[in-house]
């Protein structure tokens, strides 16, 4: 049994993997047993941040060459790491036997208090499967309009598949608390207007020059600079997660994988069926053609809606910038609040 958290983003480059890794380390520092699953396909971003380059990954488990315990990187600064890499990509092509092998593999590993999934950027079938099977999702975004637009796109797809639990939002790389508050408010207002899904603020991670230094040294900033502002933000997020433990609940890992793979098979069956993949379009049955037509129509609507939202955000950003220029008020250094609730109370 573990508390399973999937950390995702609609856009790459927002620091999602850094938050996944350092949040895992922060939870471990509180005495919890934590396993971080690097599900970022072949990009291996956790490897880059840690300097660890494993020769075996999840693909070795799926093929039956190794057991899960044989590929786990154990006790890295107090956490365990499962390298997913190409094995995550191959989830799309799993046979029934391989699916059973994967689920069975998770019966053999020890219990964890927290199991953190660091997903790929974007809205791939694998990412959605991880999200829909998880009790908790942390959505990472920045104050940039493109990041907010892509975060909205992720929430729209989750809403389409009727994800029930509130999605927790972390705004990363924050230079001013007020900017983060506005970014979250825009996202929440847009979601409230158009989607049937709830979002709630989990916190921010402030922009910190020491983060880049930690990346270069291939040492997590939480370990290298424990007292820097980014580490303090991670600690604040950690405490929120711990305090809200009763509202989520634990899940056996084998159940999680069963839900994950069942969702994938149900909603991406057309992609997995070689007959449908190879057959000319005219030979496919009417139900398949109707489904494809509906998907195309919904994608077209999504593109238009996202474009309108992006334009709305850019117009308001321009108006705000113009207003600041008129007042000749250059933004000065401000104290960065560690969570959204403090902004609401203090009126940032």
Q: Domain for residue 345, yes or no?
A: no
Q: How far apart are alpha carbons 201 and 341 in whole angstroms?
A: 8
Q: How far apart are alpha carbons 6 and 139 in whole angstroms?
A: 9
User: Which two tokens mark 142?
Assistant: 């920045």
| Proportion of the chain above pLDDT 70, given as a percent | 72
Residues 262 and 285 in one domain: no
Closest CA to 90 of 64, 109, 115, 70: 64
Q: Domain for residue 46, yes or no?
A: yes
Residues 140 and 222 in one domain: yes
Residues 323 and 285 in one domain: yes
Residue range(s) defining the domain that contains residue 307 = 269-330
Section 116-129 average pLDDT: 86
Q: How far apart are alpha carbons 340 and 180 in whole angstroms?
A: 9
Q: Are 37 and 84 in contact (CB under 8 A)?
A: yes
**Separation of first and last alpha carbons in the chain:** 40
Tell me what pLDDT residue 169 has.
Answer: 97
Closest CA to 319 of 142, 186, 177, 195: 186
Is the pLDDT confidence value at 284 over 70? no
Is the pLDDT confidence value at 224 over 50? yes
Q: Domain for residue 341, yes or no?
A: no
Q: Between 64 and 168, whose confidence is greater?
A: 168
Q: Between 42 and 100, whose confidence is greater?
A: 100
Residues 142 and 250 in one domain: yes
Residues 93 and 30 in one domain: yes
| Single residue among 217, 251, 267 that ends a domain in this structure | 267
Tell me what pLDDT residue 257 has.
Answer: 85
Three-class SS string for 231-253?
HHHHHHHHHHHHHCHHHCCCECH
Q: Give this prediction's pTM.
A: 0.77
Q: Are 202 and 19 in contact (CB under 8 A)?
A: no
Residue 123: band (very low, low, confident or very high) from pLDDT cuts 50, 70, 90: confident
For the chain, the average pLDDT equals 81
Is the pLDDT confidence value at 303 over 70? no
Sheet of 3-8, strand order: 73-76, 79-83, 34-39, 114-119, 3-8, 136-141, 167-174, 199-206
Q: Domain for residue 347, yes or no?
A: no
Residues 167 and 312 in one domain: no
Tell me what pLDDT residue 38 has.
Answer: 85
What is the dihedral sign for C-alpha 258, 261, 264, 270? negative
Sorted by sequence, the CB contacts under 8 Å of residue 281 that are 6+ apart come out as: 289
Give tens-digit pLDDT for 172-204: 999 999 999 999 999 999 999 999 999 999 999
Q: Domain for residue 216, yes or no?
A: yes
Q: How far apart are alpha carbons 320 and 18 in whole angstroms?
A: 31
Tell me what pLDDT residue 273 has.
Answer: 43
What is the radius of gyration, based on Cα positions, of the chain?
21
Q: Are 145 and 317 in contact (CB under 8 A)?
A: yes
Taking CB atoms within 8 Å and a gap of at least 24, the contacts of 243-248 are 245/3, 248/3, 248/135, 248/136, 248/165
Sorted by sequence, the CB contacts under 8 Å of residue 287 that are 6+ apart come out as: none
Q: Are 169 and 139 in contact (CB under 8 A)?
A: yes
Into how many domains does the chain fold? 2
Residues 201 and 238 in one domain: yes
| Single residue among 233, 267, 301 that ends a domain in this structure | 267
| Single residue among 245, 267, 289 that ends a domain in this structure | 267
Q: Domain for residue 179, yes or no?
A: yes
Biggest alpha carbon–alpha carbon distance for the chain: 67
Q: Domain for residue 348, yes or no?
A: no
Residue 166: band (very low, low, confident or very high) from pLDDT cuts 50, 70, 90: very high
Instruction: Indicate which CATH number applies to the domain containing 151.
Output: 3.40.50.300
Residues 191 and 234 in one domain: yes
Lowest mean pLDDT among 83-92, 134-143, 155-164, 302-311: 302-311
Q: Domain for residue 346, yes or no?
A: no
Residues 70 and 200 in one domain: yes
Residues 284 and 218 in one domain: no
Residues 258 and 315 in one domain: no
The secondary structure element, H or E, covering residue 114 is strand 114-119
Q: Are 43 and 172 in contact (CB under 8 A)?
A: no
Residues 223 and 303 in one domain: no
Tell me what pLDDT residue 283 has.
Answer: 43
């Amino acid at each position: 049994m573990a508390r399973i958290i999937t950390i995702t983003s609609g856009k790459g480059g927002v620091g999602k993997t850094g938050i996944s890794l350092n949040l895992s380390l922060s939870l471990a520092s509180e005495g919890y047993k934590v396993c971080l699953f690097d599900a970022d396909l072949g990009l291996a971003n956790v490897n880059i941040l840690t300097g660890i380059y494993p020769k075996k990954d999840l693909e070795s488990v799926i093929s039956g060459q190794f057991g899960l315990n044989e590929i786990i990187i154990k006790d890295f600064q107090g956490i365990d790491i499962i390298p997913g890499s190409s094995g995550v990509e191959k989830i799309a092509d799993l046979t029934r036997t391989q699916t059973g092998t994967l689920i069975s593999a998770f019966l053999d590993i020890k219990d964890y208090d927290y199991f953190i999934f660091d997903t790929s950027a974007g809205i791939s079938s694998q990412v959605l499967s991880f999200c829909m099977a998880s009790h908790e999702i942390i959505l990472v975004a920045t104050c940039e309009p493109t990041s907010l637009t892509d975060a909205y796109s992720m929430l729209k797809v989750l809403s389409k598949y009727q994800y029930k639990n509130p999605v927790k939002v972390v705004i990363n790389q924050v230079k001013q608390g007020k900017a983060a508050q506005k970014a979250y408010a825009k996202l929440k207002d847009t979601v409230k207007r158009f989607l049937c899904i709830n979002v709630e603020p989990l916190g921010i991670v402030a922009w910190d020059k020491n983060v880049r230094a930690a990346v270069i040294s291939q040492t997590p900033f939480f370990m290298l600079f424990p007292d820097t502002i980014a580490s303090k933000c991670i600690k604040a997020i950690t405490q929120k997660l711990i305090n809200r433990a009763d509202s989520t609940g634990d899940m056996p890992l084998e159940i999680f994988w069963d839900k994950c793979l069942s969702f994938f098979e149900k909603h991406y069956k057309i992609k997995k069926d070689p007959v449908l993949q190879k057959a000319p379009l005219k030979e496919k049955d009417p139900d398949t053609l109707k489904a494809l037509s509906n998907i195309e129509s919904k994608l077209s609507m999504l593109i238009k809606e996202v474009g309108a939202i992006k334009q709305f955000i850019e117009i308001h950003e321009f108006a705000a910038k113009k207003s600041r220029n008129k007042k000749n008020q250059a933004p000065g250094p401000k104290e960065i609040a560690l969570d959204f609730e403090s902004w609401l109370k203090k009126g940032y």
